[in-house]
């Protein structure tokens, strides 16, 4: 058996592979306890490399034998050490045949080939293929694959791999085989096989060109009634990519397979996408509106990878955002187009920016801060981060903002024209955008190379006599250990002007850096390209001092520093034609007072909420012209994480108390309005997850959650009645969440009864039981003792990533009050689970380790406890995945 040793990999040390693969012929003799893999690979010396050594990677493999050009190699003719198999002075053209044995039933890491519920699955991104056979397992080695699967037919009747099925048949002793060929070159991380007892929904779909293709969604028996939405999402994705980018499905068959044990959300293996069940299975009984939307988004994301990731892939793992950031942007645009309601695109934009601020901004400010294109890593699995994905998507979006939709499409077309079938870099993508539009985007490269969230300060000066307005924009970015000084970014800054009544004003300027026509933006929006540390523009013909609508549609992933009064923010919330900025103004207004309340809690001062905020919320709630989904987002308070991000020293208990006070105040002050909203919204039956109905449900259920903030038994009964009568999981979960999180004795008793019923009703539905665990894990009333009781529940297991995420991650990442308990019990629970998970599944353990990445900003007593816990974990023998995270946190 072999294993890897820990080392740091640097982007600057990239060297081309010494040998390139031409063809790969794989044969799997599938057996749960001992699978035999025969890999026949034709390797050709790479003229860009001076080395004549063949370097192959392997992990947890038993090497049976090696043939080189038909001759068996003796042990002294190759070197095998620390997971590297090296053959020196290999011929220009080398045909290797390598036989290995692997043990799928012992593979709890869920990387490489493993078993889930008796079925075989693979996960090869990033470096899982080396757990299957010795191979030049790197993304810039691309080849055509032929795969033959052999297995017991009764036990494994379905045999799937990438590409097209070219042959199948019977074998002696009740066995059978299937042979698959993928006509396209691909790196090993896109390889996949699936074998087991599965059933599928399939349809023939006609592409825009008239060619017919077979679409299949494979699931375990009993789940076929939950596949319709995934199939519809796939068809919508195919059509959207044809219409928006002119990209057509290039295979005769496209398959989605759902598996319950999976580390990620899904994987874009060429033609054989493997999905976590949570992003495939849905019907009204088990899935919420959010689940339906997520399924459509993730199905779209993985399908879009067929071109942005598969046909054009990344040269090395430092370029991961080349495929992930670009494809997240594409799935965001797809989802926004699919919503179709009045404020649909704004609603999607708000959801995406909220994710960025709640998760990526803290990452940028913590121990795991790294550029969109990292410079080094110890374990690549640790860099599947919100910076790579979500911030990467914002970087791609800025291209479209700067170049317009047509210009962006021109850049995409040139990118595919130049690089189809190649493994390339982020710089290659930038060059395609620049060359297609004849633009100098050299400075834009800083978005790839510099870590941290830029801060943009806006200062204004109005000259009433001259009727002119000066806007001074300045940028900065906090230093990081690797980059003490940051170069200025190219920041597209969109803005508009409103008069005292909330009407848009015309933007006039002779400054060449100001662009007045901006696609996908309301009239009156202008764009400035901020390229220097500070620059000033002057607007003329401004008849009165305006209210500035700054950073419209979040035109760049920056933190805006601009002081506006409560009255100005309230005006923007009520009247800004940019729907995103209406929401953002409300968030800024609420966050300002949440911080003041937090300060008051810390200093034991009286807690008060100004009427300005209450009335601003009242006006949003009363405005029937607004999209209900937008109203729900606008009336949802900033999260505890976002409050923490604005504090120099984080005090979790004070944050929780301050936010709870604001919720209770808004609940009491607007009780009549909340009740009216709840009682008057009518949603037609039967249940449909379509956006209009989903938006109405989100507003109605938000009203219910506010009503539960009091201790009125009659109002509490509304939630119980909704729970009992719900014909869909959205309303059932909303009622149960409202009761569970209300935090008073009346709701607690009601919640206990509903929780018992919920478990009995859905005990056989794994994804719903995940919700049951998560609901209790995030309740502010439940601490570490309750978590340990739940961890002892027969339905709980750390071996399943979804179940681990529902309870342990739910508590440690989303229960601020209890995780940061002053007695340290939350941290102890966290440490116990990290150490146990690290022995089972290091990837999941490493992700859980991130819960304390900002511990050094906690108040002193918590900081001390957190550091003690971190040192305790670090003192143990850790995997490469977890060790990198823990050591980086301790180094801050």
> CB 182: neighbour CB atoms within 10 A?
24
122 SS3 class: strand
Nearest by Cα to 333 from 411, 254, 245 = 245
Rounded (10°) CA dihedral 420, 270, 408, 370: -100
* H helix count then E strand count, the chain: 29, 34
> CB 378: neighbour CB atoms within 10 A?
18
User: What is the total residue count of the chain?
Assistant: 892
The values of phi and psi at residue 518, to 5°, are: -130, 125
Q: Which of 59, 125, 220, 302 is catalytic?
A: 302
Tell me how far apart the alpha carbons of residues 592 and 522 are, in angstroms, rounded to a whole number.
27
From residue 436, how far is each of 327, 403, 426 by CA, in Å?
20, 10, 16
Nearest by Cα to 840 from 23, 78, 111 = 111
Nearest by Cα to 776 from 716, 728, 818 = 818
CA atoms within 13 A on the CB side of 770: 20
CB 633 within 8 A of CB 351: yes
Dmax (CA) for the chain in angstroms is 95
CB 60 within 8 A of CB 102: yes
> CB 29: neighbour CB atoms within 10 A?
16
Residues paired with residue 167 on neighbouring β-strands, in sequence order = 179
Pairing of strands 468-476, 455-463: antiparallel
The secondary structure element, H or E, covering residue 661 is: helix 652-669
How many degrees, rounded to 5, is the angle at CA 774 between CA 772 and CA 294? 95
Question: Is the four-CA dihedral 417, 419, 422, 426 of positive or negative sign?
Answer: negative
Tell me how far apart the alpha carbons of residues 885 and 892 are, in angstroms, rounded to a whole number.
11
Tell me how far apart the alpha carbons of residues 516 and 528 are, in angstroms, rounded to a whole number.
9
Tell me how far apart the alpha carbons of residues 276 and 263 are, in angstroms, rounded to a whole number.
8
673 is catalytic: no
**DSSP helix, strand, coil percent of the chain (3-state; round to 5):** 45, 20, 35
CA atoms within 13 A on the CB side of 263: 27
> CB 194: neighbour CB atoms within 10 A?
22
Catalogue the active-site residues.
302
């Amino acid at each position: 058996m072999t294993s890897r040793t820990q080392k740091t990999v640097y982007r600057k040390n990239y060297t081309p592979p010494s040998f390139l693969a031409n063809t790969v012929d794989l044969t799997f003799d599938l057996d749960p306890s001992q699978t035999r893999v025969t890999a026949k690979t034709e390797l050709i010396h790479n003229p860009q490399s001076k080395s004549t050594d063949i370097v192959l990677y392997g992990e947890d493999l038993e090497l049976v034998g090696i043939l080189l050009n038909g001759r068996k190699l003796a042990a002294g003719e190759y070197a095998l050490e620390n997971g590297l198999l090296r053959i020196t002075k290999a011929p220009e053209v080398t045909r290797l045949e390598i036989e290995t044995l692997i043990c799928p039933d012992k593979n709890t890491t869920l990387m490489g080939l493993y078993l889930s519920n008796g079925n075989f699955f693979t996960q090869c991104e990033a470096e899982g293929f080396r757990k299957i056979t010795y191979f030049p397992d790197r993304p810039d080695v691309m080849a055509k694959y032929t795969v033959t699967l052999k297995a017991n037919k009764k036990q494994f009747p379905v045999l799937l791999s990438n590409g097209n099925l070219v042959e199948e048949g019977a074998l002696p002793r009740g066995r059978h085989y299937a042979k698959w060929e993928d006509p396209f070159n691909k790196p090993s991380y896109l390889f996949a096989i699936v074998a087991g007892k599965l059933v599928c929904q399939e349809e023939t779909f006609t592409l825009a060109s008239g060619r017919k293709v077979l679409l299949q969604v494979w699931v375990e028996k009993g789940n076929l009634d939950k596949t319709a939405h995934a199939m519809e999402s796939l068809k919508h994705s195919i059509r959207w990519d044809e219409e928006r980018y002119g990209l057509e499905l290039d295979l005769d068959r496209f398959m989605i397979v759902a598996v319950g044990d999976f580390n990620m959300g899904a994987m874009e293996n060429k033609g054989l996408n493997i999905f976590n069940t949570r992003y495939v299975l849905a019907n009204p009984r088990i899935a919420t509106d959010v689940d339906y939307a997520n399924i459509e988004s993730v199905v779209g994301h993985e399908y879009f990878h067929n071109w942005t990731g598969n046909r054009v892939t990344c040269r090395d793992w430092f370029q991961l955002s080349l495929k992930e950031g670009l494809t997240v942007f594409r799935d965001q645009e797809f989802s926004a187009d699919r919503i179709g309601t009045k404020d649909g695109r704004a609603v999607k934009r708000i959801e995406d920016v909220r994710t960025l601020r709640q998760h990526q901004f803290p990452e940028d400010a913590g121990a795991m801060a790294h550029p969109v294109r990292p410079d080094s890593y110890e374990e690549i699995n640790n860099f599947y981060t919100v910076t790579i994905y979500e911030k990467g998507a914002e970087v791609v979006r800025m291209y479209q903002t700067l170049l317009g939709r047509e210009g962006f499409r021109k850049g995409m077309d040139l990118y595919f024209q130049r690089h189809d079938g190649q493994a390339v870099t982020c710089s290659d993508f930038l060059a395609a955008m620049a060359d297609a539009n004849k633009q100098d985007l050299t400075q834009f490269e800083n978005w790839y190379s510099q870590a941290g969230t830029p801060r943009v300060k806006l200062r204004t000066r109005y000259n009433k006599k001259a009727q002119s307005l000066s806007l001074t924009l300045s940028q900065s970015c906090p230093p990081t250990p690797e980059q003490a000084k940051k170069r200025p970014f190219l920041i597209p800054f969109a803005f508009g002007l409103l008069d005292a009544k909330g009407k848009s004003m015309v933007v006039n300027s002779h400054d060449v850096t100001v662009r007045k026509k901006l696609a996908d933006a309301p009239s009156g929006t202008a764009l400035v390209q901020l390229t220097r540390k500070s620059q000033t523009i002057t607007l003329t013909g401004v008849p009165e001092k305006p209210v500035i609508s700054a950073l419209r549609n979040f035109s760049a992933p920056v933190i805006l520093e601009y002081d506006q009064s409560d009255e100005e923010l309230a005006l923007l919330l009520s009247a800004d034609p940019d729907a995103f900025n209406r929401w953002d103004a409300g968030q800024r207004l609420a966050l300002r007072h949440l911080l003041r309340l937090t300060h008051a809690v810390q200093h034991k001062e009286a807690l008060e909420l100004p009427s300005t905020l209450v009335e601003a919320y009242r006006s949003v709630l009363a405005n029937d012209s607004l999209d209900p989904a937008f109203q729900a987002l606008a009336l949802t308070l900033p999260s505890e994480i976002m409050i923490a991000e604005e504090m120099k020293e984080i005090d979790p208990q004070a944050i929780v108390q301050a936010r709870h006070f604001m919720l209770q105040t808004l609940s009491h002050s607007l009780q009549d309005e909340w009740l009216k909203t709840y009682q008057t919204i009518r949603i037609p039956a039967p249940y449909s997850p379509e956006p209009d109905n989903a938006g109405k449900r989100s507003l109605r259920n938000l009203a219910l959650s506010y009503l539960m903030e009091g201790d009125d038994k009659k109002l509490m009964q509304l939630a119980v009645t909704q729970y009992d009568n719900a014909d869909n999981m959205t309303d059932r979960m909303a009622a149960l969440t409202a009761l569970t999180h209300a935090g008073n004795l009346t709701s607690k008793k009601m919640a206990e009864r509903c929780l018992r019923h919920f478990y009995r009703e859905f005990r056989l539905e794994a994804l719903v039981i995940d919700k049951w665990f998560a609901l209790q894990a995030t309740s502010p009333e439940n601490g570490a003792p309750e978590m340990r009781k739940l961890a002892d529940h027969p339905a709980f297991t750390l071996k399943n990533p979804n179940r681990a995420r529902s309870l342990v991650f739910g508590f440690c990442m989303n229960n601020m009050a209890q995780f940061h308990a002053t007695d340290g019990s939350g941290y102890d629970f966290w440490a116990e689970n990290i150490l146990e998970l690290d022995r089972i599944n290091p990837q999941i353990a490493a992700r859980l380790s991130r819960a304390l990445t900002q511990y050094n900003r906690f108040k002193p007593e918590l900081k001390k406890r957190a550091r003690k816990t971190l040192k305790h974990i670090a003192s143990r023998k850790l995997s490469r995945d977890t060790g990198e995270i823990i050591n980086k946190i301790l180094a801050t």
